[in-house]
Amino acid sequence: MDAETEGLPPVENENNSNPIDIHARRKWFKSQQSTVATRRQQAVCVRRAHKIYGTKKNPNVILDGLNMTVPKGAIYGLLGASGCGKTTLLSCIVGRRRLNSGEIWVLGGRPGSKGSGVPGPRIGYMPQEIALYGEFTIRETLIYFGWIYGMNTDDVDEKTDFLLKLLQLPNASRFVKNLSGGQQRRMSLAAALIHEPELLILDEPTVGVDPVLRQTIWDYLVDITKFGKTTVIVTTHYIDETRQAHMIGLMRGGKFLAEESPDDLLRQYHADSLEDVFLKLSVIQNMGKRRRSSIAKEVIDAVQLPAMTNPALDLSHDDDNGEISGEFGDNISMSSRGPDLTSPHVVAATPLPPEEEASSSCSDYFKILKSHHMKALIWKNFLWMWRNVGVMCFVIGLPVCQTILFCLAIGHDPTGLQIAVSNHELSENLLAQQKCPIYKGCNATMLSCRYLEFLKNRSVVVTHYATDEEAYDVVRRGKAWGALVFAHNYSESLVDRTEYGQSTPDSVIDASELNVKLDMSNQQIGTLLYRDIQYAYLDFIENILKECDQDPAVGRIPIAWKDPIYGDRIPNFTDFAAPGVQLTIIFFLSVALTSGAMVIERNEGILERCLVSGVTGFEILASHVVTQFLVMCFQTTLVLIFSFSVFELTLRGDLFWVIMLVLETGLCGMCFGFVISCAVDNERSATYLALGSFLPIIMLCGIIWPIEGMHPLLKFPSFFLPLTLSTESLRSITQRGWPIEDPHVYIGFISTGIWILIFLTGSILLLKFKKG
Ligand SMILES: Nc1ncnc2c1ncn2[C@@H]1O[C@H](COP(=O)(O)OP(=O)(O)OP(=O)(O)O)[C@@H](O)[C@H]1O
């Protein structure tokens, strides 16, 4: 190899079928000058990468000016202690995390930029977590990923047979959840290999794999990189298995201690194993550092370091190295030598993607949905539902159960309310028998008993007591809701009172009055008794006047209650609360549905894997909208059938608009669920957030109490909540029968539509930017 071509990255040549000797290939991966053009020629090129977790006050520096060069066609072993930042570096490479500073080039483009194909099908990513659906079979899993990558089912089946043999996986119809831990990891590897990507990124693929199979996997990796078409980056804890890699990067303290071929490292450091090299490099790195070494003194003493004739091997002062971390691989500063675009090194082997910054225009967030992505995602969602049919029956049945419970339990007048009566018109004998005789017709005998009969018709249970104090005591002890006291001359006084008119003496007025003491601790029951005691009295007076051939209207209070314009003469709470309750049930079950679905995906790492494969957040949301919408249609149908057909709640308006509004509100709930699932990282937080929003919405949206009764400070903001105007709108349709043209009705549709847009945009932005 002449001087000009030395250091040339392997040229992809599809026609070249001769495997190239591994030692010859390693020579290509020698140090070379770094320019933007050469960086774009590498499979992966990282420069001056800084990544910090935590707060400004308490930063956790993970990548500290790290440089990395992965030539095309190489197997690159990324080594380092647990927690040193390997996964973080990989997730920055695949475009799932952003660096705080520095640059990354992957397959010639910036991850996330338009046309770079990264994230996308050019990459095969096997994350550290299993990131698979346990409820799917091996075949279904591979079909799902195959479709995502745009493969057809026949090709997937063919590749499935090959991968099952290669990775010694069991029958394709076995469920992933029933595989052993090691088998699941191999399954995860198969999902990354299915589409033969240009760049394979494998985060610990050989954990839990026996040595023989581990060797098979490595042989396969060597095989697919033979012709320079595929590049592999692999992290592993088994340092010595990377002897087969073309290049290894030893990571420590946020930097690479070395980036070399394994043979060169062993030679340079006079070591027998790569573990030995790693130890020596770690000791060298710690030399000269003021902070306490993390390596035990006995270990340091036992290590024989090579003579540092080469200053690049001296890592003890690497803090000052800036961009140069040593003469390893391509880690030479671009600024240290001028760019040389005429060099034959920079001749592109394959067309490179346009050099662009990560896209940030608004239209990019709403990229057109790819049909193969949507097909895979929707199929996956339905398959998940089918495999969890019990859960789905519960989800669909829950709103109906809640509606039934609401209709049976809420809004009906309480019955069997106990009233204690001290009636001094009763003789001791009658009192002992609890008898109160009624004299019908135009008869003024024992009018107290006649009144009580009307009261009993209003579902009040009357018990007689001998004294007033006894009756009051029963109320005090909570055995009755009220005490009524009749004077011994009640009937006579009542007649006198009507006859005397204005000249009625006070004693007669007192005796003709029914004395009432209620337990008003329960507002609903207290108000009901208050109402019934008065209504019973009016019925009683009208009845006597009628029996005595007098006009019953004389006994009424002089207010004529005509038929109401809207609603019933005696309105019921069920009709008032039903619209709000129906919308709340559909809204919050939709929240639970979507926030749960997305959080589960995120927890199991599937979402991450999906996004790396090129699926956009918008596509994931859209697929869930499609499947959950179908579920919601079932829920809505059942809720409305039970509300209006079975329980016959009032419906004066158009059922069509009721259905539309309920569906729109469900959609709004789904979008709110997306926001929650995109904003939080685990199910517990999602549950807290959903529950936390439930109570304020119930209280502030006029569902259980009219907004007019709210504190003035709450009235205005409550109009901006998602269920306020829609509840009012539904109430107007069902109770008043108003059409869609009425502003009270269409405002509910508009406000819900605006909320849908807000939530949808919020969740897409969160998916886009919440990478870490
Ligand atoms: N999202 C995060 N927020 C804060 N710290 C994080 C986050 N992710 C990782 N870390 C921390 O960053 C460090 C590097 O983590 P990373 O997972 O990249 O290490 P790793 O080298 O892949 O480890 P392992 O080999 O054990 O998988 C760890 O200390 C980890 O606790």
87 Cβ closer than 6 Å to some ligand 1 atom: yes
The pLDDT assigned to 314 comes to: 45
91 CB near ligand 1 (under 6 Å): no
The 3-state DSSP class for residue 385 equals helix
Q: Which residues contact 723 (CB under 8 A, 6 or more apart)?
A: 580, 583, 584, 587, 665, 697, 701, 703
pLDDT of residue 305: 54
Residue 386 belongs to a domain: no
For ligand 1, is residue 82 a contact (CB within 6 Å)?
yes
Residue 325 falls within a domain, yes or no? yes
Would you state the pLDDT for residue 289? 53
Q: Answer yes or no: do 539 and 589 share one domain.
A: no
Choose one of 318, 340, 362: the last residue of a domain.
340
Could you report the predicted ipTM of this complex, rounded to two decimals?
0.96
In-domain check, residue 399: no
* Domain-located, residue 395: no
Q: What is the pLDDT of residue 35?
A: 65
pLDDT at 282: 77
**379 assigned to some structural domain:** no
Atom 8 in ligand 1: which residue has the minimum CA distance? 88
Per the domain annotation, does 348 fall within a domain?
A: no
The mean pLDDT value of the chain amounts to 82
Does the Cβ of 85 fall within 6 Å of ligand 1?
A: yes
592 shares a domain with 544:
no
694: containing domain: 579-769
Distance, in Å, from the CA atom of 529 to the CA atom of 332, rounded to the nearest integer, reads: 90
If asked whether residues 218 and 92 sit together in one domain, one would say: yes
pLDDT band at 241 (very low <50, low <70, confident <90, very high): confident
Same domain for 497 and 643? Answer: no
Residue 171 Cβ < 6 Å to ligand 1 = no
Token readout for 30 is 């020698």
Average pLDDT, stretch 211-222? Answer: 85
**Residue 175: CB within 6 Å of ligand 1?**
no
pLDDT tens readout for residues 694-719: 888 888 998 888 999 999 999 989 99
How many A from CA of 360 to the centre of ligand 1? Answer: 27
Q: What is the pLDDT of residue 13?
A: 41
The pairing of strands 247-252 and 255-260 is: antiparallel
- Tens digit of each residue's pLDDT (9 = 90 or more) over 623-653: 988 998 999 999 999 999 999 999 999 999 9
CB 268 within 8 A of CB 276: no
In CATH, what number is assigned to the domain containing residue 224? 3.40.50.300
pLDDT at 753: 96
Query: How many Å apart are CA 746 and CA 755, to the nearest integer?
Result: 14
Q: Is the pTM of this model over 0.80?
A: no
User: Looking at the domain assignment, is residue 351 inside a domain?
Assistant: no
Q: Which two three-digit tokens encode residue 772?
A: 């870490």
Instruction: Say whether both 303 and 251 belong to one domain.
Output: yes
With a cut of 60, say whether residue 284 has pLDDT above it. Answer: yes
Residue 397: inside a domain: no
Distance 484 CA to ligand 1 centre (A): 75
Ligand 1 in reach of 230 Cβ (< 6 A): no
Return the pLDDT at 304: 57
Predicted confidence (pLDDT) per residue in 566-587, tens digit: 988 888 888 899 999 999 999 9
Same domain, 95 and 41: yes
One domain for residues 270 and 209 = yes
88 CA to centre of ligand 1 in angstroms: 6
pLDDT digits (tens, 9 = 90+) for 69-116: 999 889 999 988 888 888 899 989 988 888 889 989 898 888 877 777
Take atom 25 of ligand 1 and give the residue whose Cα is closest.
82
**89 alpha carbon to ligand 1 midpoint, in Å?**
10
Instruction: Give the distance, in angstroms, between the CA of residue 451 and the centroid of all CA atoms in the same chain.
Output: 60
Nearest-atom index, ligand 1, CA of 128? 27
Mutate to test the pocket of ligand 1, among 87, 92, 203, 239 (most ligand atoms within 8 A of CB): 87
Give the chain's end-to-end CA distance (angstroms, integer).
45
How does pLDDT run across 578-620, given as a tens digit for each residue?
A: 999 999 999 998 888 888 777 777 767 788 888 889 888 888 8
Residues 531 and 668 in one domain: no
**Could you tell me if the CB of 80 is within 6 A of ligand 1?**
yes
Domain count, the chain: 3
Same domain assignment for residues 707 and 609: yes
Q: Which of 340, 372, 391 is the last residue of a domain?
A: 340
In terms of DSSP bridges, do strands 101-106 and 75-80 run parallel, antiparallel, or are they unpaired?
Answer: unpaired
The atom of ligand 1 lying closest to the CA of 80 is 21
| Claim to verify: residue 505 and residue 630 sit in the same structural domain | no
State the distance from the centre of ligand 1 to the C-alpha of 274, rounded, in angstroms.
23
**Does the pLDDT at position 162 exceed 50?**
yes
Residue 301: pLDDT over 90 = no
- The answer, yes or no, to whether any atom of ligand 1 lies below 6 A from the CB of 482, is no
- 473 and 598 co-located in one domain: no
Q: Give the pLDDT band (50/70/90) at residue 195.
A: very high
Distance of CA 263 from the midpoint of ligand 1 (Å): 29
Single out the residue in 295, 313, 340 at which a domain terminates: 340
- Summarize pLDDT for 480-508 with one digit per residue, the tens: 999 999 999 999 999 998 888 888 899 99
The pLDDT of residue 331 is above 80: no
**What was the pLDDT predicted at 310?**
45
- The finding on whether 88 has its CB within 6 A of some atom of ligand 1 is yes
Is residue 229 domain-shared with residue 312, that is, in the same domain?
yes
Q: Which residues of 271-299 are buried (b: 16+ CB within 10 A; e: fewer)?
A: beebebbbbbbbbbbbeeeeeeeeeeeee
Q: To test the ligand 1 pocket, which listed residue (63, 64, 82, 84) has its Cβ within 8 A of the most ligand atoms?
A: 84
Q: How far is the CA of 460 from the centre of ligand 1 (A)?
A: 69
Q: In whole angstroms, what is the distance from residue 26 CA to residue 35 CA?
A: 21
Higher pLDDT, 42 or 497: 497
At residue 333, the pLDDT reads 31
Residue minimizing CA distance to atom 28 of ligand 1: 83
For the domain that residue 507 is a member of, what is the CATH number? 3.40.190
